[in-house]
Structure 1
Amino acid sequence: MKRCKWAATEEISRINQIEICPNAMDLTQEITNRIAIDGGGALIIDYGLNGIVSDSLQAIRKHKFVDILDNPGSADLSAYVDFAAIRHSAEEASADVSVHGPMTQSQFLGSLGINFRVEALLENCSDEQAESLRTGYWRLVGEGEAPFWEGPDELAPIGMGTRYLAMAIVNKKQGVPVPFQ
């Protein structure tokens, strides 16, 4: 199995099952070949792990994780992306591309200056706008429930800054994308 070929022995020994998305690997190779020929790049941001994915199916309702069988149809179903498999698929597809990351969404947005942008916006906004900015900022870069939240627990913003990862696949002629430098 191709995915296990890329894994370290200790990584394989820790798992009882493995999730593989052949379509993701095939699509990565198609995109990589296009980037190698035409230039440019691809930015991939999603829930994920930088390693073998096992048992990651989850249900999310109103920003909270719930049992996947609790009230079917009322929650979004999600599974982690195997960023290591994407990296290996891209690297095997072409020597003319380079892969950068993954890094957390928090690191990615931080390297693009989100902190400075939020600070600048907070200087000239109403209290209501400031609360909305802080909540949105936390959702993008925070981890877990927002420590500043004073409303009902079920409405507390959940930070996704470490749950989402970012990776770039670029033609080597493009150099290293800014967030990954």
Structure 2
Amino acid sequence: MKRYKWAATEEIAKLDQIEVCPRAMELTQTIAKRISSDGGGALIIDYGFNGVVSDSLQAIRKHKFVDILDNPGTADLSAYVDFASVRHSAEEVSDVSVYGPITQSQFLGSLGINFRVEALLENCTDEQAESLRTGYWRLVGDGEAPFWEGPDDQVPIGMGTRYLAMTIVNKKQGIPFPFQ
């Protein structure tokens, strides 16, 4: 369990299996080394978990989760990003700092998405307003949209807490907004 030397022994002992992505750890260190030597930063946004990842393989078809063996070849297969491993891989490189993860909802909220959507809603058609509300919910909501009145198979699913945001920056830069 060398790759999870940072994880609590009790946490690992509870799991039947652990997902490890060595390539993600290598790539994270390559990016962190570049940031350490050249400055700048990286922003990582994806769905994942901030801890040891276990059993996250999933299939998605038409924006819905389906069994991974249901009609093979017709769904996208995916697995969670292990944000804790990304963090610890980057922190092994000197002169970089890692901030986050925070939820996508927190990230976009601190950047002012609420105010932008409100401003756009002031001058749009009913159809555009519905599209804005639906898109907004998908980005920052959690679960099924409570306002949805359309077909059940098209209900917008909010990904605001499922998606996480993390940044890797050169230590000289300080804490970037919105991770303060």
Runs of 4+ in 1 over 2 A off after TM superposition: 1-4
User: Counterpart of 1:107?
Assistant: 106
8 A Cα contact 2:36 2:93, kept in partner: no
How far 1:11 moved relative to its partner? 1.1
TM-score (norm 2): 0.98
User: Counterpart of 2:138?
Assistant: 139
How far 1:10 moved relative to its partner? 2.1
After superposition, the C-alpha distances for 1:100-156 in whole angstroms (9 at most, x for unaligned) are: 000110011001110111011101111000000000000000011100000111100
8 A Cα contact 2:50 2:101, kept in partner: yes
Question: How far, CA to CA, are the matches of 1:150 and 1:23 in structure 2?
Answer: 43
Question: How far, CA to CA, are the matches of 1:4 and 1:24 in structure 2?
Answer: 14
Question: How far, CA to CA, are the matches of 1:27 and 1:4 in structure 2?
Answer: 17
Question: How far, CA to CA, are the matches of 1:165 and 1:30 in structure 2?
Answer: 21
User: Counterpart of 1:166?
Assistant: 165
User: Counterpart of 1:129?
Assistant: 128
Task: Give unpaired runs (5+ residues) of structure 2.
Answer: none
User: Counterpart of 2:52?
Assistant: 52
User: Counterpart of 1:93?
Assistant: 93
Task: Give unpaired runs (5+ residues) of structure 1.
Answer: none
Question: How far, CA to CA, are the matches of 2:2 and 2:117 in structure 1?
Answer: 43
Question: How far, CA to CA, are the matches of 2:62 and 2:156 in structure 1?
Answer: 10
Question: How far, CA to CA, are the matches of 1:58 and 1:70 in structure 2?
Answer: 11
SS of 1:70's partner is coil
Question: How far, CA to CA, are the matches of 2:10 and 2:124 in structure 1?
Answer: 52
Matched residue type, 1:47: Y
User: Counterpart of 1:180?
Assistant: 179
Matching of residues 3-152 of structure 1 within 5 Å: 3-94=3-94, 96-152=95-151
RMSD: 0.8
8 A Cα contact 2:32 2:93, kept in partner: yes
How far 1:47 moved relative to its partner? 1.0
Question: How far, CA to CA, are the matches of 1:108 and 1:3 in structure 2?
Answer: 28
Aligned length: 180
Question: How far, CA to CA, are the matches of 1:175 and 1:116 in structure 2?
Answer: 26
SS of 2:178's partner is helix
How far 1:3 moved relative to its partner? 2.4
SS of 2:10's partner is helix
